[in-house]
């Protein structure tokens, strides 16, 4: 029993630290906007704009959503060699969106 407990304590945490730094160019002023997405656990990311829930994840992408804001926001982080993101903000006037490149720093 002691060996089993020791073995369980030696297994690394299955949720590894993961931080995405994502940027896009805002038109027409050509301003660079940057957001950070840091994995807290397998269900949440802390972002520049608050806590986002992981709605769906597979080996190709992570879908994040936040419904506590005045308007729902969904962000997709594309894994692999792409390391891109796409965000959609749903307002009463319609959908506003942006996309850009990311770097995974952890």
Residues 57-91 have pLDDT tens digits of 999 999 999 987 688 999 999 998 889 999 999 98
Residue pair 69/50 in contact (Cβ under 8 Å)? The answer is yes
Predicted confidence band at 22 (pLDDT cuts at 50, 70, 90)?
very high
Q: Has residue 35 got a pLDDT over 80?
A: yes
Q: Is 45 exposed, middle or buried (0-12, 13-18, 19+ CB in 10 A)?
A: buried
Between CA 55 and CA 64 the distance in angstroms is 6
State yes or no: cis peptide before 28, omega within 30 of 0. Answer: yes
Predicted confidence band at 45 (pLDDT cuts at 50, 70, 90)?
very high
Q: How would DSSP label each residue in 52-79?
A: EEEEEE-SSEEEEEE-SSSS-EEEEEET
Entry pTM: 0.79
């Amino acid at each position: 029993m002691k060996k089993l407990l020791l073995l369980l304590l030696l297994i690394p945490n299955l949720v590894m630290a993961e931080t995405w730094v994502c940027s896009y160019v805002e038109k027409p002023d050509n301003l660079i906007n940057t957001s950070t997405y840091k994995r807290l656990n397998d269900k949440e990311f802390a972002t520049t704009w608050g806590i986002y829930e992981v709605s769906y994840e597979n080996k190709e992408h992570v879908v994040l959503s936040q419904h506590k804001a005045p308007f729902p926001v969904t962000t997709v982080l594309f894994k692999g060699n792409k390391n891109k993101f796409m965000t959609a903000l749903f307002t009463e006037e319609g959908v506003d969106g942006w996309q850009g490149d990311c770097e995974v720093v952890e």
